[in-house]
């Protein structure tokens, strides 16, 4: 049994546009996904504000401890920001099913 030859031409740009439009429509359809996209930048900005404005070096704190505390607080907020980013991608797979 001989199979017929099929000549399909796929354009990368049209496929990429279709994937982009599908993801955009899925994202804009649900408010929770839209909020979870904004949350990472909000958490990172809050972390930067806390590190730059709220954490000050006191008399009893040496320079190493001060720098470690600032990096630790900034990393804490960045990790939470990336958690929200990951939850967006994991949630989109569940919504598609």
Whether 85 is in a domain gets the answer yes
- Flag whether 56 is in a domain: yes
Q: List the domain range (segments joined by +) for residue 56.
A: 31-96
Q: What is the pLDDT of residue 9?
A: 77
Q: Is residue 10 part of a domain?
A: no
**Is residue 12 situated within a structural domain?**
no
**Tokens, residue 88:** 């967006």
- How high is the pLDDT of residue 88? 67
Residue 96 to residues 4, 25, 77, 89, 90, Cα–Cα distance (Å): 34, 12, 29, 11, 10
pTM score of the predicted model: 0.58
Residues of the chain with pLDDT under 50: none
Count of domains forming the chain: 1
- List the beta strands (DSSP E) in 1-97: none
Q: Is residue 80 part of a domain?
A: yes
């Amino acid at each position: 049994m001989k199979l017929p030859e099929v000549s399909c031409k796929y354009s990368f740009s049209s496929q990429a546009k279709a994937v982009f439009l599908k993801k955009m429509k899925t994202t804009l359809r649900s408010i929770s996904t839209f909020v979870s996209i904004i949350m990472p930048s909000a958490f990172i900005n809050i972390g930067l504000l806390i590190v730059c404005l709220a954490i000050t070096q006191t008399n009893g704190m040496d320079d190493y401890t001060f720098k470690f505390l600032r990096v630790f607080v900034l990393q804490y907020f960045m990790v939470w920001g990336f958690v929200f980013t990951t939850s967006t991608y994991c949630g989109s797979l569940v919504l598609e099913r």
